[in-house]
Amino acid sequence: MTLSLRKALKLIGQAPISLLDAILAIFLTASAILLGIAFRIIPRKRRRRIALLVPGADIASIHRKYGTLSVYFQDNPSKYFEKCYRFLFGAPNNSRLELRQDFIVYERKIPRFHLKMTYIAKLILEISVLTIRKRVSILHARDPYLCGLVMWVASKVTCTPFCVSIHADYDLAYAISGKLESPVIWGSRAAAKRLERFILSHAPMVLPIRTSLAKYAIRNGARRQSIRIIPHGIDMTPYRLRNLTNYRKLLRFGRKRIICFVGRLSKYNYTDDVLEIAHRMTQRRDDVVFLLVGDGEEKLNMEARCRQLNLTDVVRFVGYMPRETIPDIRRMADVNLCLMAGFSLIEGCAAGRPVVSYDVDWHSELVRNGETGYLIPEHNVKAAVDAICRLLENPRRSRAMGENARRLAFEHHSMEKTDEIKVRAYKELLRFQSGPSDK
């Protein structure tokens, strides 16, 4: 049987399921619209509550990655909202978990048998019902794709202010690692881009997490006046304390110079380049060790590559480590290697150690070349090796650059400052609110 015939038979077999999916989706969407009409007839005063729809990671994987669920609470900056409802789009399970009195997480699993339109319509109905019952005042989508679509429709149904945040350069992510890191719709990146442009152009407020992503949002349809930058923040308290654990001794590094990488082991984080940098460093120095903290889909490939390059004594994989250990590990390093990073770059700078990064995405906002670290052209492994060697050969300059990096991170990314910016944006969005709920 030819491939095209197999494909045709598969499509014919899926036709009844697709028809059922469309009928159920229409029914659920109509139910949401009728609910919205009833809500307009019987208005209720809203309360300071927010519902978020977030793609990707589920509760278990977040806990596995960070060793805590406290990272979730950044969705409720300074406890501004009396209640925060976080829906996880495409989670592996269906569950409800109350993390604390003001914070509830709902995992929503995409059903089998390709009922994806039904899943989206059901999510719209569920969030609309919750918005009305709990008198939610803001709907927040954490991407401009299917999460954005669900929250945009729910906002129309319930007359609730809607915003969308941008957390990555999705075009860059797609260029680096394809659909693993960037959304596609029905297998098409072009379809996803059309939806992205629609959502960004219709959102009253767009919240990129950094300046470079504000430019990305505008290029992709967002109105300039809708942009409010809400930078990521971290709790700087652990970076103000002295080291609690001597990981150099614990991991038996002796007098080795430590190059530290913390993050997911994926192609998006240039893991192939990390190993090539380690390989070339061994040709220049015999006193370095690369400490890789984290896990991911590339780990097995990286371990195999290390064996091929005789790097098993040079590259140390330690897997995920509890979040509270990261400050001590970062400060133990001589150099923090952040070729592609988000939170990880902030942490690397806050630790007071110089950073070597690729000059991509937002890195130039924290890595000032020759001042807080070195910015390297993308994939220029030789330049990265040269930069690391310069830092290792000049400890005084390296310490000064680390202090500059620490000062800059504290100035722009402390939790207190970023929470203040987020709350200010939400207050402004609430002033956009209109309709019967204001009466």
Report pLDDT digits (tens) over 342-396: 889 999 999 999 999 999 888 998 999 999 999 999 999 999 999 999 999 999 9
DSSP E strand stretches across 191-306: 205-208, 257-262, 288-293
* Alpha helix stretches (DSSP H) within 285-372: 299-308, 326-332, 343-350
Fold match flag (42-233+418-438 vs 237-412) = yes
Higher pLDDT pick, 68 / 2: 68
| Confidence band for 281, pLDDT divided at 50, 70 and 90 | very high
Specify the 3-state DSSP secondary structure of 77. helix
Q: In this structure, which long-range contacts are made by residues 353-356, counting pairs with CB atoms below 8 Å and at least 24 apart in sequence?
A: 353/260, 353/398, 353/402, 353/405, 354/391, 354/398, 354/401, 354/402, 354/405, 355/405, 356/384, 356/387, 356/388, 356/391
Pick the CATH number of 42-233+418-438 from 3.10.20.740, 3.90.1150.10, 3.40.50.2000, 2.40.37.10: 3.40.50.2000
**Other CB atoms within 10 Å distance of the CB of residue 305:** 18
The residues spanned by each domain of the chain are 42-233+418-438, 237-412
Q: Of the given ranges (4-8, 105-109, 285-289, 319-323), which has the lowest mean pLDDT?
A: 4-8
Instruction: Of 9-13, 164-168, 239-243, 267-271, give the lowest mean pLDDT range.
Output: 9-13
Question: Do residues 242 and 147 touch, judged by C-beta distance below 8 A?
Answer: no
Provide, for the chain, the percentages of residues in helix, strand and coil under a 3-state DSSP scheme, each rounded to the nearest 5: 55, 15, 30
CATH class, domain 237-412, is alpha beta
Q: Among 62-76, 251-265, 398-412, which stretch is predicted with the lowest mean pLDDT? A: 62-76
Q: Three-state DSSP class for 95?
A: strand
Q: Which pLDDT score, from 0 to 100, does residue 5 have? A: 44
The DSSP secondary-structure symbol of 111 reads P
Give percent of the chain above pLDDT 90. Answer: 55
Q: Give the lowest-confidence range in 58-67, 188-197, 214-223, 309-318.
A: 58-67
Average pLDDT over residues 283-308: 93
pLDDT classification of 67: cutoffs 50, 70, 90? low
CB 386 within 8 A of CB 330: no
Token pair of 90 as six digits: 């495409």
Q: Look at residue 139 and tell me whether its pLDDT is greater than 80.
A: yes
Query: Could you give phi then psi for residue 98, rounded to 5 degrees?
Result: -95, 105
In the block, residue with structure tokens 């001042």: 371
Mean pLDDT taken over the chain: 86
- pLDDT of res. 42: 62
Q: Say which amino acid occupies 114.
A: H
Span of 174-183, 260-269, 334-343 with lowest mean pLDDT: 174-183
CA-based nearest residue to 207, from 148, 253, 125, 154: 148
Q: Is the dihedral of CA 37, 196, 189, 89 positive or negative?
A: negative
pLDDT value at residue 436: 40
Q: Judging by DSSP bridges, how do beta strands 103-109 and 95-100 pair with one another?
A: antiparallel
Question: Is 245 strand, coil or helix?
Answer: coil
pLDDT in tens, 7-45: 443 444 455 556 556 666 665 677 667 666 666 656 667
**pLDDT above 70: percentage of residues in the chain:** 84
> Contact, 339 vs 399, CB < 8 A?
no
Helix (H, G, I), strand (E, B) or coil at 398: helix
